[in-house]
Structures are given as structure tokens and as C-alpha cells.
Structure 1
Amino acid sequence: MKNKLVLLLLAFFSLSAFKTDRVITVFMIGDSTMANKTIEGGNLERGWGHVLAGFFSEDIRVDNHAQNGRSSKSFIDEGRWEKVISQVKKGDYVFIQFGHNDEKPDSARHTDPGTTFDANLRRFVNETRAKGGIPVLFNSIVRRNFIRPQDKDMNNDARKEPGKEPAAVEGNTLFDTHGAYLDSPRRVAKELGVAFVDMNKITHDLVESMGPVESKKLYMWVAPNTCPIAPKGREDNTHLNIYGARKIAGLTVDAIAKEVPGLAKYVRHYDYVVAKDGSGDFFTIQEVINAVPDFRKAARTTILVRKGVYKEKLVIPASKINVSLIGQEGAVISYDDYASKKNVFGEEKSTSGSASCYIYASDFYAENITFENTSGPVGQAVAAFVDGDRVMFRNCRFLGFQDTLYTYGKDSRQYYEDCYIEGTVDFIFGWSTAVFNRCTINSKGDGYIAAPSTDMGKPYGYLFYDCKLTADKGVNKVYLARPWRPYAQAVYIRCEMGKHISPEGWNNWDKKEAERNSFFAEYQSKGEGASNETRVSYSHQLTSLKDYDIEKVLEGQDNWNPVKNGADKIVTVVR
């Protein structure tokens, strides 16, 4: 009996482990051209590995151990390889790129192609395979060198200040400086049957095609008095800046997808990446929004927001149309304004002035983003103020207390799918036509979920489809809606309602005329809070959904249909 119990437990844990999707780790080992860089002092330098995570889905975790100045020899001698290989698990990848510093003459770093350099590469490959990992070999990126190098200059990675040396005349031909060190990774890859990415060719083709002038935009060519970390300026033909790292990582990830098919399905391309750790194009979301071309109609601008709390009062103006904001898990837009808080002139900011995020642009799309107002229960405090037309949110969260989500635009159509919205009083409010599909609506206190102010003559206001109405512990009296304006409309369709929903269901906000002009209705409500018999007399129980298809509600004059084609037309991040 005891042995049978042990077997059952082993089977249970085995199955549990099997069902858990493990994130794949890509370990990176190499030199400064691959390494993560400090972002202090306004440093603009980046290794291509620093920005690589922005080109993969969250199924891939990039763990970059590349280090400035290291060769394959010094990386081993300093114990860095031992630290990496101890963490590698079955199915993980190890990206290996050395050469720049193996070329150096000093004994601490120097190796020879064909012998010691190849031997170190073999060690990385064989020990990775022994752990069940998958090695990938890369050769070195090019130095930007449009002058035929003298022998003594072949391996020169010196950074110099502008004007320190006589300016040499550059031609249009890019000259190699790595020699046989480029052949070793290719040779070892062929010998051991390992994937090989020819980064030297990728970067050579890019740099030479840009020419001697434009290619400076890829490297750390910094004008004096433009960067705090290099006040006197810098002319560096080896190390990449933010633009160069992102450009080269984008080309490299496509080559990786080709040479390593197992990683291809995880590759993503975004127009911009915003990241607090320096792994993107920008540090703040406002910066990236400002960079979006005004009224870009030919294509959508796709933006990845990497994990982090972005405390900024974000404004997406009407000119920034066709923007897709895609968040990684833990991407939060946060601020702490509230209506009675004073502005710089000592005036109250008002409800409209309290928002953490303002969305005026049409055809805006957000996914996996949290919009929050952290000011707490201090009265009106908006998390998201949405004015644009044809606006769509998928798997987003809206966090606050009173007036969390302001659907502001009178002619705005908004679609929320699989979102979470929380608050206390009127925490979904405004003029817009808005559809909430499969959303969780959570009440943090007694109050009112919605306060629509639908204009007279508008065919629809708020529609909740298959939503789940939940509440915090101790909350026991919540109304489905009350009319902010006399022609308010709100309809709940097949929603599961917790016991916190008041038996009356609806509230007239002490406006008797609103009972005649507002339209409050339900269709097949379920759960402890569903109570057809006790609802207020001016509410309705629908017997059919004629004219209540989501497509019909949102179609307008342009037949907008976010349910049918929202994802494929709005989310275009894989190219």
C-alpha cells in the first residue's frame, strides 16, 4: 500500500511538471558588441544582445552574460562560463559570439584561430549539449572601417574624441579587420553540426550599403556636448548605439529564425520598443508616442511596452492614428492625479484633468496593458480617458476607485475584450458607445458600476456581453448603472452577477425623468445577483437579441467589426 501511494505521488508530480510550460532561456556569452550596457549618465551605447528580448515573445527569456573586453579565453578563465553553464537546462539555448578580443595581443585574452580559439568554441558547444542545451555560434560584427587598415590597426577598438587625430579620407569599400577569426565559428559549427549565424556578413552588408556617412548612425559617433557620459564627444567604429543595436538585432533575429527553426515561432518585430532597462528605443511611453508619425495611414505603428511601471501622464493625441500598444506581462501605465488635486495655478484639476492616460487618437489598439490611477479613494480619479473612435482593448486592466474608465467621446466606438475593470462609484462612465465582451467587472465598494450619459438619439450606449460581475469581500450593495444624463443606455447580456448586485438592479440617481428616457435592460442574467422579479419597474428584460449583435452595435457608417477582424488588422507585429 505504501509503495502504491509513492507511485501515485510520483505520477502526480510528473504530470504536474509536464503540464507546466517552462519559459525557454537564451543565454548569451560574448564581448562588448553583444553585452548589456549601463544606462546611467545618458549612455547611448548598447550591445545587440541588450535589445534582443524585444524581438521575442515572452516565451523566451534572454539572459545576457556577454561582457565588455572579454575573449573566449578570459570568459572561461574568470569563471564566467562556469556560472552560465551551471544554469543551463534542457531545451535552453546558448548564443556564443567571440572574436573581437580574442584578436588582442595580450596573454590574458589572446587565442589563435584554428587552435586555441576553436578549442574554446568546441568547449562551449560540447558542454552546452551535455546539459541538454542547444548551442548557436555567431561570428563577430564588422568594425565600421572604410579605410584600408595597416597591420597595427587591424584589431583596434580604440574610442577617440573628435579631432584628436587627423581625419583620414574614407572610401566606399568596407574593409575586414577580423581575418581568420571569422572562420573559426563557421568551421566549428560545421564540424560539430551546430547552427551558425554569419553576423559578419549581416553587418557587413548593412554597413557597406549605408556607406561611410550614413553608417555612422549605427555606431557610437557622438557629437560634443550631446551626451553626458561623453561630453567631449566620441568617434567609435566598433560599438553600437541604440539605433544600431536595434537595427542589427532585428536583422540577426531573422537569421536566427532561419538557422534555428525551433525559435522561429517566437520571433516578433515591432516598429518601436519602450523599456525602462534600456533594451528598447525609448525609456518612456510618451517618448515613443511622440516619435510616431502624425496621421500615418499607410500602416499601423506597432509598439512593444516591456515590463515595468511607467509613471507618466500619457497623452496619445488625435494625430497619432493607427497605433498598437502591446504590453508584456507587468506593463503598467500609472499616475496619481485626482479631481480635487490642485494644479500649478492652485485650481482643482477636475475629473477630466485627473486621468493617467488620454487616448484621443482613432484606431488605437492596446493589449496586455494595465491602466491605473493610484490616488486611492479620494473621489474622482480617472485611469483611462478614451475619446478616439474605433478603439480596442484586449486583455487590459483598468484599476482605480471612483470614475476609473472615462469613455469620453460622444461619437466614439470602443470595444473591450477579456479585460478587467475595477472601482467603486460610476467606475465606467461617459458618452461613448462601448462594448464589454467577456470582461470581469469588479466592485471594490458599494456603489454603481456604470454611469452612462448617452446622447439623445444614439442607438446604443453600454453593452456588457458574457461578463462576470465580482466584488471585494464585504461589498454587498452595487447597482448595475445609474443615468448620468437622462437618455442613458446600459444593457447586460448573459452576464454572471455576484450576490453583491442589489435586487433592484438599477438606480435613477434621483432623476424621475430619467426613468422615462433612459434604457436599462438585461438578457438572461445569471448568478446570485440575477433577480428578474425584483428589478425596478423602469428596467427591461429582453426576450431576444435582435439588433444587439456586437457587430451591429459597433458597425457605424464604416462597418467597423473588431470581433471579426480586429486582431488580424490591428495586431501586425510578426513580419
Structure 2
Amino acid sequence: MKENRSKLVLLLAVAFVLCSAFRADKPVVTIFMIGDSTMANKKLDGGNPERGWGMVLPGFFSEDIKIDNHAANGRSSKSFITEGRWAKVISKVKKGDYVFIQFGHNDEKADSTRHTEPGTTFDDNLRRYVNETRAKGGIPVLFNSIVRRNFVQPQDASITKDIRRTPGEKEQPKEGTVLFDTHGTYLDSPRNVAKELGVVFIDMNKITHDLVQELGPVESKKLFMFVAPNQIPAFPKGREDNTHLNTYGARTIAGLAVDAIGKEIPELAKYIRHYDYVVAQDGSGDFFTVQEAINAVPDFRKNIRSTILVRKGTYKEKIIIPESKINISLIGEDGAVLTNDDFANKKNVFGENMGTSGSSSCYIYAPDFYAENITFENSSGPVGQAVACFVSADRAFFKNCRFLGFQDTLYTYSKQSRQYYEDCYIEGTVDFIFGWSTAVFNRCHIHSKRDGYVTAPSTDKGKKYGYVFYDCKLTAEPEATKVYLSRPWRPYAQAVFIRCELGKHILPEGWNNWGKKENEKTAFYAEYESRGEGANPKARAAFSRQLKNLKGYGIKTVLAGDDGWNPVEDGNKLLDVKR
């Protein structure tokens, strides 16, 4: 007995180790960034729009890559070492990590705490960064400085200083159309050391020079910190800064940088991603709120998707995607939650009840909407009807999304809408999937939090399909023991469960007539090969059906409509639909 117990303990220990290995936290690779203010993270106080290009870099990589940005304002390759910043970074570097190195702006400064000389001390510092990174098994990458926006020819060969002006404080030199270099031979050191030591080199100066020269003296100001007076609390008198980037500039330049990185470092290329807009609460994106990003999408942008990344965070907003914002793809990082706490009996500004439709946290009206890895939540709690997501859009596709709430969680609103949910999680209590739309739920997890009804379709008379669930799993909290698969909100309600695993919380009769005997004549409720403790075909309500085959119930057939929409095979590919 004792021997068997020892074997059992050993087996459990092995199982724990294996499970821990499979649960290893991502990311597996870190990109450390060291450099100056043009790369650094910035404070957001007072609506400060200044960004280093490294600050926005996380929005260009998948979550398999972690960006750990240690670049700091005012630092040179020398002061970054003497202040102990490099020691902190190198102590964290592990095998396979990357170190992105970009200095130069402050090495040019005259003060002895920062100044280095290209060809000697500057090169020596870069060699140290490279060699010590390699000694830890890391991969160093050298960058030279981004361009200063300087359309005024220097009076001599000296290095131009960073200039930050208050608008109108003194007359400015007249700008021409040619962009002049201000870094001199400091640009050569990273290139030379990279060649000498066999290190990848990214010519950030050429990338940014070409961009700024192409834009010219007027348009290029949009990249840099040109702020009009009385516009931003952080700079009440305004600012004119030819060195430091604003949000748009940092995002633009980071996008060009990652393209170069992907070309030079194939191992990182597979992790690179480009989105039209990034939403992030830490300032690493284009916007702080999801609604701002949606509003920025051009109206009726045809034949192409507008992609929005929502970085990790809880965004408490009431989101509306109007009909004009077609073809939006909303992609979330793990932990991206869109939430609000309205409910039907909550008063609006006029003292009226919001009602069920008015309670939703998110409204989706535009066709060809796609969401992936997003949580849609109504956080008001068990207070009656409180919608998490109101979907009126046609050809709406949700992949790996979560819908959280209690009563009336997911409102499939429009009679003309087709909706597809793949590998989604939906929870609630009463009628928590309800509405008029034709909707397919494929491999979804449907969770009852209390006794109630999973669905309440209101399918129109004459419609061929209502709700169809394929290979879904229905579970419940322990206190939920009396749950119906559906009740008909309208007489011609339709719901079909195909090959679904039903927990013991599903009542033997399975289906409810909403207290109206006449509904039994018009509603279409059916199952095919249900399994699990809640599968009980012999005890089901007499007005429900057990399908003998799946003729007419292929997902492609259910969703095809007149245009042949097939999200299972085509994913979120756009159809050639005239609008």
C-alpha cells in the first residue's frame, strides 16, 4: 500500500511538472532596447503626445515577443554605462534575447559626462554592448540615430544642437526644401562596429531621412513635436521641436523600422504585425480608447479591412460601430476587455429607463465586422436585462471572443443579419443569447451562471434558419440545475443543437414554450446526436425534434444567403459586394 502511494505521489509530481511546462508564460523572447530620448518611453502627464519609436514598438510584434524598453532621455552610450543602466539590462538578458542599441544624439553633446568621439570612445562603447550581449547568449542589433528635421543649411561643419522653441519667441531661420545632416560621423560608428563584429545594422538615419525629405518641410512637421499654443496642457505655450517624435511620427517610423528588422532578422519577421491603428492605455498606440480608433476609420472604406489592435487592458466605454465603418477587424491581445455597466432599468439623462437595447456595452451595425480575442462584457451584475454586445451587422464574425454578463448577454438583433461565432465563450443566466438574427455557434462554450434559459430566439416567420449550435459545450455553475436550451421569444423561434455536449444542468424536457401552448405549433426546436448528462432525447418536450440527418444544416448552407458567405472556409475574407 505504501509503495503504491509513493508511486502515485511520483506520478502526480511528474504530471505537475509537465503541466507547468505546457503553461510556460509567454513571451519566450525579449527585445531589450537601450538608447536615447528618440527611442524612449515617455510620461503621459498633461496629454503629452511625445513618443519614442521604441515606446510604440510592442504594437508591431505578436505577444510571443516582449519589448523591454530601457532607453532614456538625455543618455549617451557613455552615460548609459556610468549611471548603471547597462548593468541592469545585461543582468536580465538570457539566451536568445535581443538587444537593440541606438545612441548618437547625446554622444554629440559637449559635456564630459556624455561626450564620446566617433572612431574611438563611441565605437568602444558600442563594442562593449555587443560583446557583453553575446557573452550572455543574446543577439545585439546596432542602429544609428534617426534624422533631425533640419531644412536649414548649417553655417559650418559643427554638429547641430537639439533645438526646442516656444512658438513666436524669436524669428526662425527660413527653411529650404533640402534636408541637411546634423549627426556627422556619429552615424558611421554603429555601421562600422556592426561590420567589424558581424552584427546586424539597421540604418535608421537613412530610413528617417528618406521619409522626412519626401514629406518636405511642411508635411514633415506632422512627425515631430510641433504643438500650437493652448492646445495641450503639457505645453500651454506650445512647442517646436525638430528632434523628438509625436505619436503619429513614432508609429510611422517604428513601422518602417520593423520592416527593416524583418528583412535583416528573419527569425523576428514571423512575429511582426502591422495594424492600421493600435489602442493602448499605456500610450504605446495611436489612441487610448477603442471608440477613438473606430471614429478614425474612414467611412465606407471599400474592398479592404481596417485593422485595429486593442492591447491588453480593461476599456470602460460604450462602443458604437456605425454602418459607415464597414470592414473593421478588431483584434485583441490577451486580456483586452471592452466593458460597461448600463442595464435596462438604469435611468438615462432624461430620467427614462434605458431599456434592453439601450443597455448594451457595444453596438455593431457595420457589415463585415470581424473580432478576435476580444472580451465583450456588461459588468452591471444580476440587475435584469443588461446586454454586453448588440450585433445588428450582416456577415459578423467573432473568433475566440468572450461575452460576459447575466440576463440578455448577447443580442443578435437584426432580422437580416448573419453572424458566425467560432471558439467563443458566452455566459449568462436568462435568455443570454437572444434575438432575430441567423447565427451559427461553432465549437463554442456556453455557460449558465444560474437557472434559466440559454437562448430566446425571435426568428421571423418564413426564415429558414435561426440559431444553430455545432459541437458546442454547455456547462453551468453548481447552483444552476434547471436550465432550458431555449424558449421562443417570438412564435417562429428556431434553435438547433448539433453534436453538442450538454451538462447535467439541462432539464430532461430541454425546451420551454414560454407559457404559450400555441408556440409549440410554430417554433422549431431540434437536436442531433446530443451527448453528455443533459442529453435525454426520450424525455424531451414533445414539440421538439431529433434530427435523423444533417441535410440542409451544413454551416455553409445556413450562412450562405444570396452572396455565398462562408466564414468557415474563407475566414474574414471580404466578399465582392456592391454597396
Structure 1: runs of 5+ lacking an equivalent: 571-575
What is the CA–CA distance in structure 1 between the aligned matches of 2:31 and 2:177, rounded to whole Å?
37
What is the CA–CA distance in structure 1 between the aligned matches of 2:306 and 2:228, rounded to whole Å?
30
User: SS state of the match for residue 137, structure 1?
Assistant: strand
Instruction: Give the corresponding residue for 2:548.
Output: 543
Instruction: Give the corresponding residue for 1:283.
Output: 288
- Give the Å deviation of 1:162: 1.0
- Give the Å deviation of 1:16: 6.2
Instruction: Give the corresponding residue for 1:41.
Output: 46
Instruction: Give the corresponding residue for 2:95.
Output: 90
Please tell me whether the aligned partners of residues 23 and 60 of structure 1 are also in contact (alpha carbons under 8 angstroms).
Answer: yes
What is the CA–CA distance in structure 2 between the aligned matches of 1:325 and 1:351, rounded to whole Å?
25
Matched, 1:523 2:558: no
What is the CA–CA distance in structure 1 between the aligned matches of 2:353 and 2:217, rounded to whole Å?
56
Matched, 1:467 2:472: yes
Distance 1:359 1:10, change over 3 A: closer
Instruction: Give the corresponding residue for 2:178.
Output: 173
Please tell me whether the aligned partners of residues 37 and 47 of structure 1 are also in contact (alpha carbons under 8 angstroms).
Answer: yes
Instruction: Give the corresponding residue for 2:366.
Output: 361
Instruction: Give the corresponding residue for 1:25.
Output: 30
Instruction: Give the corresponding residue for 1:111.
Output: 116
Matched, 1:389 2:394: yes
Distance 1:569 1:193, change over 3 A: farther
Please give the per-residue CA displacement for 1:10-51, whole angstroms capped at 9, x wherever unaligned: 999599658846521111000000001111101011000010
Letter in 2 for 1:498: G
Q: How does 1:109-148 map to 2 (within 5 A)?
A: 109-148=114-153
Instruction: Give the corresponding residue for 1:203.
Output: 208
Please tell me whether the aligned partners of residues 94 and 136 of structure 2 are also in contact (alpha carbons under 8 angstroms).
Answer: yes
What is the CA–CA distance in structure 2 between the aligned matches of 1:85 and 1:500, rounded to whole Å?
55
User: SS state of the match for residue 512, structure 1?
Assistant: coil
What is the CA–CA distance in structure 2 between the aligned matches of 1:205 and 1:94, rounded to whole Å?
25
Distance 1:568 1:319, change over 3 A: closer
User: SS state of the match for residue 112, structure 2?
Assistant: coil
What is the CA–CA distance in structure 2 between the aligned matches of 1:139 and 1:38, rounded to whole Å?
24
Please tell me whether the aligned partners of residues 143 and 202 of structure 2 are also in contact (alpha carbons under 8 angstroms).
Answer: yes
Matched, 1:187 2:192: yes
Instruction: Give me the identity figure in percent.
Output: 74
Q: How does 1:261-300 map to 2 (within 5 A)?
A: 261-300=266-305
- Give the Å deviation of 1:165: 2.4
Matched, 1:160 2:165: yes
Please tell me whether the aligned partners of residues 125 and 135 of structure 1 are also in contact (alpha carbons under 8 angstroms).
Answer: yes
Please tell me whether the aligned partners of residues 100 and 155 of structure 1 are also in contact (alpha carbons under 8 angstroms).
Answer: no
Instruction: Give the corresponding residue for 1:73.
Output: 78
Instruction: Give the corresponding residue for 1:374.
Output: 379
Instruction: Give the corresponding residue for 2:438.
Output: 433
Structure 2: runs of 5+ lacking an equivalent: none
TM-score by length of structure 2 reads: 0.95
What is the CA–CA distance in structure 1 between the aligned matches of 2:237 and 2:33, rounded to whole Å?
32
Distance 1:14 1:183, change over 3 A: farther
Please tell me whether the aligned partners of residues 27 and 66 of structure 2 are also in contact (alpha carbons under 8 angstroms).
Answer: no
User: SS state of the match for residue 164, structure 2?
Assistant: coil
What is the CA–CA distance in structure 1 between the aligned matches of 2:303 and 2:574, rounded to whole Å?
12
Please give the per-residue CA displacement for 1:365-418, whole angstroms capped at 9, x wherever unaligned: 000000000000000000000001000000000000000000001100000000
1:400 to 405, 421, 437: 405
Letter in 1 for 2:266: P
What is the CA–CA distance in structure 1 between the aligned matches of 2:449 and 2:237, rounded to whole Å?
55
Instruction: Give the corresponding residue for 2:234.
Output: 229
User: SS state of the match for residue 363, structure 2?
Assistant: strand
Distance 1:120 1:168, change over 3 A: same
- Give the Å deviation of 1:298: 3.1
Please give the per-residue CA displacement for 1:92-137, whole angstroms capped at 9, x wherever unaligned: 1110000000000000100111111111111111111111111110
Distance 1:422 1:19, change over 3 A: closer
2:56 to 46, 51, 55: 51
Tell which deviates more after alignment, 439-448 or 218-227.
218-227
What is the CA–CA distance in structure 2 between the aligned matches of 1:457 and 1:127, rounded to whole Å?
73
User: SS state of the match for residue 256, structure 1?
Assistant: helix
What is the CA–CA distance in structure 1 between the aligned matches of 2:368 and 2:574, rounded to whole Å?
10
Matched, 1:347 2:352: yes
User: SS state of the match for residue 441, structure 1?
Assistant: strand
Please give the per-residue CA displacement for 1:248-307, whole angstroms capped at 9, x wherever unaligned: 000000000011111000000011111111111111011111111111113110110111
- Give the Å deviation of 1:356: 0.3
Letter in 2 for 1:508: N
Instruction: Give the corresponding residue for 1:242.
Output: 247
What is the CA–CA distance in structure 1 between the aligned matches of 2:373 and 2:19, rounded to whole Å?
30
What is the CA–CA distance in structure 2 between the aligned matches of 1:165 and 1:148, rounded to whole Å?
19
What is the CA–CA distance in structure 2 between the aligned matches of 1:151 and 1:456, rounded to whole Å?
83
What is the CA–CA distance in structure 2 between the aligned matches of 1:14 and 1:434, rounded to whole Å?
39
Instruction: Calculate the aligned-residue CA RMSD, in Å.
Output: 1.9
What is the CA–CA distance in structure 1 between the aligned matches of 2:254 and 2:123, rounded to whole Å?
25
Please tell me whether the aligned partners of residues 27 and 63 of structure 2 are also in contact (alpha carbons under 8 angstroms).
Answer: no
Please tell me whether the aligned partners of residues 104 and 155 of structure 1 are also in contact (alpha carbons under 8 angstroms).
Answer: no
User: SS state of the match for residue 536, structure 1?
Assistant: coil
Distance 1:407 1:14, change over 3 A: closer
Matched, 1:102 2:118: no
Matched, 1:495 2:500: yes
Distance 1:222 1:489, change over 3 A: same
Aligned residues: 567
- Give the Å deviation of 1:154: 2.4
What is the CA–CA distance in structure 1 between the aligned matches of 2:556 and 2:114, rounded to whole Å?
65
Distance 1:506 1:17, change over 3 A: closer
Letter in 2 for 1:351: T
What is the CA–CA distance in structure 1 between the aligned matches of 2:132 and 2:17, rounded to whole Å?
29
Instruction: Give the corresponding residue for 1:573.
Output: none
Instruction: Give the corresponding residue for 1:304.
Output: 309
Letter in 1 for 2:485: L
TM-score by length of structure 1 reads: 0.96
- Give the Å deviation of 1:514: 0.7
Letter in 2 for 1:559: G
What is the CA–CA distance in structure 2 between the aligned matches of 1:69 and 1:167, rounded to whole Å?
25
